Amino acid sequence: TPRSTSPTWTRSTGCGPQWVAAPPPGRPAPGTEPAAVRAWWAGLTPAQRRWLVVHEPGLVGRLDGVSAAARDQANRLLLGARREELLAARRRLLERVPRGPVELAGLLRVGKSLAGLDALAARLAGDEQPRAYLLGLGTAGEGRAVVALGNPDRSTRMLTYVPGMTAGLGDVPGELGRAARVLSRCAALGPEEETAAVLWLDYDAPDFLHEAAWPGQARDAGPALHRFQEGLRTTHDEHPGRQTVLGHSYGSLVVGTAARDHGLAADALVFVGSPGVGVAHAGELGLPPGQVWASTAPDDVIRLARPPDELARRALLGASPVGPAIGGLLGAPERELWFGQDPSHPGFGGRTFPSGRHGHTGYWAADNPALDGMARVVLGR
């Protein structure tokens, strides 16, 4: 940066022996649309951007509309602080005497989050390809993380994967492995394409069945997922790439609700193991029905997630000798699930791809045709 601008110069810490300018003026308000964030970031000098990354990593790291490289730098600077937050939480729980079930559950949660954070830090520090970009990180509750494999600002094909119930910081290594398997299959099927996959775990996923029975947490996640997808499109180099959003289990409701209520910057939506996505027809999701895809394994227990009124009726009829017969006459159509129409049913109006018998969590198994299905949608094939 030219010295003629007369900034106040300070030595940076944590990013090597470079010089950075004084604090730049102005900050985007929470919830600012990514296009406005992008314009603000583009208007800063390189020195001002460096200052923000070093001195305000919590701001830069969570801003949709800032480049993946800058967000990654900022969030990596926060890894140590986030680990200290978890260690402090564990100390507080250990100091409580006597320890009851709440404290013991808290210790288990914190221990799991610490293990997940350490595994994530090891992945970030290693030389495994594709390079990982840390786009978001939080330790409150079960913890949150947004991690990209490959640079989404450069890729011609991008996948955003939204996991379902019980997902938290401790599950990041396993969930990131699922995204990596889709990415690997994309590389095998389309080696000429530059593809990136993002694990988007930036919402409070239900921990128990009674929480997963309600759509509130999916509704709460909608604005954040909307902004994230808008940010991917806004920060992409040159022409926008093809964007696919994949939801598994309760995550499919998150994706469907966000698309319904806020719109998603996506060229295709994919639902696997879905209990319903909050709409009755693919045409209500804001995309052409031909770009709405779903798959449900024949042995997936999610098929038992029937509508609440039907489950109540079956419970009442179960005590009667003629109950099963009456229930068969009065039951809801097979395409109805807990959160609306089954997206893998022909009546939903989307498109489907097959899955083998791998249960509710086996869609990413190497020998499951569903893995090929997901990869082909990401590639646009």
Token digits of residue 222: 């909608």
Residue 25 pLDDT level (bands cut at 50, 70, 90): confident
| In a domain? residue 273 | yes
| In a domain? residue 125 | no
Q: How many domains does the chain have?
A: 1
| In a domain? residue 24 | no
CATH number, residue 314: 3.40.50.1820
| In a domain? residue 148 | yes
| In a domain? residue 2 | no
Predicted TM-score (pTM) of the model is: 0.88
| In a domain? residue 63 | no
Residue 30 pLDDT level (bands cut at 50, 70, 90): confident
| In a domain? residue 239 | yes
- What is the phi-psi region of residue 221: left when phi exceeds 0, alpha when psi lies from -120 to 50, beta otherwise? alpha
CA 78 to chain centre: 20
In the 8-state DSSP scheme, what is residue 10?
Answer: E
The reported pLDDT for the residue numbered 306 is 73
Domain that holds residue 154: 131-379
pLDDT tens digits, one per residue of 200-225: 999 999 998 888 899 999 999 999 99
| In a domain? residue 18 | no
H or E, element range at 134: strand 132-138
The reported pLDDT for the residue numbered 354 is 97
